[in-house]
Amino acid sequence: MTINFKDKVAIVTGAGGGLGREYALELAKRGAKVVVNDLGGARDGTGHSDAALKVVEEIKAAGGEAMSNGGSVTEYEQMVEMVAKAKEAWGGVHILINNAGILRDKSFTKMEMADWKLVVDVHLNGSANCTKAVWDTMREQNYGRILMTASSTGLYGNFGQTNYGAAKLGLAGFTKSLYLEGAKYNVKCNTLAPIAATRMTEDILPPAAFAMFDPVNVVPAALFLVSEDAPANVIMGAGAGFFHTANVTMTQGMLLSGDDLSPEGVAANFAQISDRTGEIVPQSGGEQSMQAMKLLQAKAG
């Protein structure tokens, strides 16, 4: 089965280069009309460029349809205006890939709170702004595909990236509630954790690895996750031909009572509490309470 995006309108943020550019080019190649959003500038978010215009020119030269947008994801009204222009030109918005991002890497000891706030604002709040701007449209048309860009830093941690990690795991959490709200409207939400050689990772990845992790190799995962038959509530990692899923899990746990219902009891039973045998992959937060009730009922019965 060939995945195509004919008659679909897609917005890709941060699409002036790197991953976003590759997403935009392939979406257009497969029939989508694409809004190429990019504020431009350096990877720390400073400066401006005409990067979005260049990607639009590439798409048009290949026979596709696209428009550029220079709005900042941190400005909600600019994102609302971007969506309005897409709808005016093409009638709707069916796909949103939240890809825009910056880095301000420092150990937490040396980090200024301004660097914390800016990274969280661009990645987490910026994705919320874009998603809010398209949300009602997607609900009304009973179709939407939204992709958040997380990171292994958010999922697993990385020294010197506390701000980035907090924002990226926040996006995974955002998706996990958003997919529940979108389900009845055929709005599917997923999360992607790319492994890619871009300007944001050029001094993080070793030179040999940098060459292997071409952003184009992340595209198959991204486009699958925004396709018509996409799953929902998936966290997928991708890079260099390697694909995996990640899950937020919960152990079976145990009930404590009497003298064991104490800090000392938790310490004494921690091995069993944290035993991953029969691990659960909850699909909503309510399953935590359900597991507690299950154990309580078993004890009472």
Known catalytic residues? 164
**How far from each other are the two terminal CA atoms of the chain, in whole angstroms?**
51
Coil/strand/helix, residue 108: coil
- How many of the other CB atoms lie within 10 Å of CB of 163? 24
- Residue 200 Cα distances to 17, 25, 74, 295, angstroms: 11, 20, 19, 46
Separation between Cα atoms, residue 208 and residue 211, nearest integer Å: 6
**How many CB atoms are closer than 10 A to CB 267?**
10
CA distances from 251 to 270, 277, 280, 297 (A): 12, 7, 6, 18
Q: Tokens 């941060």, residue?
A: 14
Tokens of 3: 């995945």
